[in-house]
A = this chain, B = another copy of it.
Amino acid sequence: MNKKKITVKELAQQLGVSISTVSKALNDSYEISEVTKQRIRKHAEKHNYKPNRLAVNLKSGKTRTIGVILPSILNNFFTTVLYGIEQVTNKRDYNIITCISNESHDNEVTNTEILSNGSTDGLIVAIAEETQINRNYGHFQECIDEGNPVLMLDRVTKSISCDKVIVDDFNDAFLATEHLVNLGCKKLALVSTIEFLGVGKKRVKGFKKAVSELLGDEHPELVLETSLKKLQLQIENLLDDHKIDGVLAVDEDASLVVHKVSKSKGFKIPNDIAIIGYAGKKLAKYISPSLTTVNQNGVKIGRAAARILIDRLEGKKTDFVTKIIATNIVKRGSTFKID
């Protein structure tokens, strides 16, 4: 509490020079003589001078700060994305200010407004579920119109023209389904608790396409779209009522519950029922049998997002880009059939 931050003004007074001389000296301006620079720098150092960011930012109109709005942080995928963003922003000398929308539209709007009122140079956003349901993207458009670039990742919308970083959910689900078919599965089901999300819809489409193309009409697919609360019961019913031998679970909760229920019903995984899910690495690796997953590469998504947005902020981009990050299927125990 004692040695309050020192300002340029105070430095100037103490040294008996003008404010601007101090400022220039500290910014290594060619206008100032080496002697003066040394003197000023030494004094500044001694008093542990650090420029006030707020003032610098206000003056320059730049903040070197990126706002990040995520629907949730208790979700392995978004955590991983955040990690990726942080790696790049850190390296390129930017800060991130993080907000959680908690899947709520109102929160998202508030966050967007706060962050775009001078605190940040641009936003990285994964759209909240509620926003995707009511399709109200005005706050983002406004933000962009005001000169604050927005980049959307994973959960994006066609309604807004901006940079985007996504994975090819349709194709990933197709490939995952194909993997199940190649294993010899005939009776496939998809389980989802994210039917309202764009990514959820795309995964369903990819799944359906794969089933109809690869298995044909005599093996119609089953799609269970449900909520977290009904999940367990519905899966129990699903497994009771149909002789399912392969499941694509398109989110972490669905994956875990399918896995658990299958075991508790005495089905052997993968011989009775093969499972491909979406889940964090540790979880996938340590449940038994371990779970084959579609690896969404959150870190890469985050990195790409930060890179693209910073490039735009620094004027290295003109046209909007949509970057598709490659995913891969990590094969684990839940699809290693023993013939």
CB of A4 within 8 A of CB of B147, answer yes
Cα distance, A117 to B107, chains bound together (Å): 28
Name the CB-closest residue of B to A145. B3
CB of A73 within 8 A of CB of B83, answer yes
8 Å CB contact of A5 from B48, B147, B286: B147
Task: List A residues 54-98 near B (Cβ within 8 Å).
Answer: 54-55, 57-58, 63, 65, 73-74, 79-80, 82-83, 86, 90, 95-98
Name the CB-closest residue of B to A63. B54
8 Å CB contact of A288 from B4, B100, B117, B263: B263
Residues of B within 8 A of A256 (CB): 282, 286
8 Å CB contact of A54 from B2, B107, B119, B145: B119
Task: List A residues 33-69 near B (Cβ within 8 Å).
Answer: 48, 50-55, 57-58, 63, 65
Residues of B within 8 A of A218 (CB): none
A235 to chain B, nearest CB (A): 14
Q: How many residues of A contact B (CB 8 A)?
A: 51
Task: List A residues 252-304 near B (Cβ within 8 Å).
Answer: 252, 256, 259-260, 263, 282-283, 286-288
Is A113 an interface position by the 8 A CB rule? yes
Is A181 an interface position by the 8 A CB rule? no
CB of A4 within 8 A of CB of B146, answer yes
- Interface digits, A1-22 against B, CB 8 Å rule (1 contact, 0 not)? 1111100000000000000000
A interface, CB within 8 angstroms of B:
1-5, 48, 50-55, 57-58, 63, 65, 73-74, 79-80, 82-83, 86, 90, 95-100, 107, 113-114, 117-119, 142, 144-147, 252, 256, 259-260, 263, 282-283, 286-288
What are 26 of the A-B contact pairs (CB < 8 Å)?
A2-B145, A4-B146, A5-B147, A48-B142, A50-B113, A51-B117, A52-B58, A53-B114, A53-B117, A54-B54, A54-B58, A54-B119, A55-B58, A58-B58, A65-B97, A65-B119, A73-B83, A73-B86, A90-B100, A90-B107, A95-B99, A95-B119, A96-B99, A263-B288, A287-B288, A288-B288
